[in-house]
């Protein structure tokens, strides 16, 4: 651990940055990362790299017919669960990056070494002073620039919708769609309860910072230009968030880390079946058909909750 205090220009003097100045630069790292995140989520048709999620629901039982009388409830097939619908639509994509090149040790800010010398920070110093704290902020579960979250609508303030295709849909049997007059009813008649979408948090407002000194090619000290300093910070953030063990941003479904946005719930009706009859024809006629069927019923219960999680690993 070698956190440094970079030097900055102050009315003709070299001064060490305060804690507050360093914190501002850490926040600036988060901000610049939001302009071009190296770890992104995309919505794919199938086989996403994150774990899949399953939506379950109940369906009506098979209908029965009888030429003499109604089959009893116990003779009528029960309602059943449909084959779970698998949602495997979220993929994490990591940019392919190398560590920034620090030619002649001039890339990073300078600091006072306590022994009379001013020298440039190393890549490790840079990481320990700014980057690691910024990554911790990025994965704290709040809406941080350039990170991704789940929401239940197709628009969200300060966010960009990644795809209008939901990454998870909770469905349930549509109780109102099943009627005795409709027997034989189509067994699986679902209704959509909630769609869930992936969003990226937009780049926010730039935190104001004090820009430090760097060593020029002529071995002079000079304040970075604002754009050059931002570009250096961005390159560091992008590199460490995909390459540095323990600092790589990783998304998962129900893995470790902080939740990002709403949980995605799979709900299902909990009834044991609504037995119904339908007589097709007049009583006593040999052509009359006595039909029965069981329909889904009950109250919705949460079967599973899936969270999009973010962590550093």
Question: Residues in the site for another protein, rule: CB under 8 A?
Answer: 140-143, 151-153, 156-159, 175, 179-180, 194, 258-259, 261-265, 274, 276, 283, 297-299, 302, 305, 307
Q: Where are the alpha helices (DSSP H) in 77-207?
A: 123-126, 132-138
Toward another protein, which CB reaches closer, 165 or 302?
A: 302
Integer-rounded Cα Rg, in Å, for the chain is: 30
Toward another protein, which CB reaches closer, 11 or 283?
A: 283
* Minimum distance, C-beta of residue 310 to another protein, in the bound complex (Å): 11
Compute φ and ψ for 184, nearest 5 degrees.
-80, 120
Toward another protein, which CB reaches closer, 49 or 152?
A: 152
Bridge partners (DSSP) of residue 171 are 192
C-beta atoms surrounding 184 within 10 Å: 14
Toward another protein, which CB reaches closer, 113 or 158?
A: 158
Q: 214: Cβ–Cβ under 8 A, 6 or more apart, which residues?
A: 106, 107, 108, 109, 110, 120, 221, 222, 223, 224
Toward another protein, which CB reaches closer, 129 or 201?
A: 201
CA distances from 154 to 91, 142, 195, 220, 260 (A): 19, 19, 9, 52, 16
C-beta atoms surrounding 171 within 10 Å: 20
* Minimum distance, C-beta of residue 154 to another protein, in the bound complex (Å): 11
* Minimum distance, C-beta of residue 218 to another protein, in the bound complex (Å): 47
* Minimum distance, C-beta of residue 181 to another protein, in the bound complex (Å): 8
Bridge partners (DSSP) of residue 251 are 310
* Minimum distance, C-beta of residue 53 to another protein, in the bound complex (Å): 13
Peptide bond connecting 184 to the previous residue in cis, omega within 30 degrees of 0 = yes
Residues written for the chain: 313
Q: Distance (Å, rounded) from C-alpha 80 to C-alpha 103?
A: 67
Distance, CA of 28 to chain centre: 23
Toward another protein, which CB reaches closer, 10 or 158?
A: 158
Toward another protein, which CB reaches closer, 152 or 223?
A: 152
Could you tell me if 247 and 135 are in contact, meaning their C-beta atoms sit under 8 angstroms apart? yes
Toward another protein, which CB reaches closer, 10 or 140?
A: 140
* Minimum distance, C-beta of residue 265 to another protein, in the bound complex (Å): 5
């Amino acid at each position: 651990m070698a956190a440094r205090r970079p030097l900055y220009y102050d009315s003709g003097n070299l001064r060490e940055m305060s804690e507050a100045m360093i914190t501002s630069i850490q926040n600036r790292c988060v901000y610049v990362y939001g302009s071009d995140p190296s770890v992104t989520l995309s919505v794919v048709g199938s086989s996403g790299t994150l774990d899949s999620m399953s939506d379950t629901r109940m369906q009506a039982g098979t209908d029965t017919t009888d030429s003499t009388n109604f089959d009893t409830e116990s003779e009528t097939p029960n309602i059943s669960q449909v084959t779970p619908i698998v949602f495997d639509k979220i993929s994490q994509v990591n940019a392919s990056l190398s560590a920034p090149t620090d030619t002649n040790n001039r890339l990073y800010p300078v600091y006072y070494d306590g022994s009379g010398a001013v020298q440039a920070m190393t890549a490790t110093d840079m990481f320990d002073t700014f980057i690691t704290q910024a990554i911790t902020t990025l994965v704290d579960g709040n809406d941080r620039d350039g990170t991704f979250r789940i929401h239940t609508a197709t628009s969200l303030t300060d966010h960009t919708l990644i795809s209008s295709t939901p990454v998870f849909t909770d469905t349930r049997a549509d109780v109102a769609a099943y009627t005795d007059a409709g027997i034989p009813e189509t067994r699986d008649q679902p209704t959509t309860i909630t769609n869930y979408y992936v969003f990226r948090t937009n780049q926010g407002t730039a935190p104001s910072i004090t820009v430090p000194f760097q060593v020029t090619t002529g071995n002079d000290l000079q304040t970075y230009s604002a754009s050059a300093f931002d570009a250096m910070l961005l390159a560091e953030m992008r590199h460490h968030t995909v390459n540095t063990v323990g600092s790589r941003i990783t998304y998962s479904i129900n893995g470790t880390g902080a939740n990002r946005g709403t949980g995605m719930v799979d709900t299902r009706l909990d009834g044991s079946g609504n037995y119904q009859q339908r007589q097709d024809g007049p009583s006593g006629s040999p052509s009359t058909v006595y039909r029965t069927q069981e329909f889904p019923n009950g109250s919705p219960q949460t079967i599973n909750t899936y969270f999009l999680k973010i962590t550093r690993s």
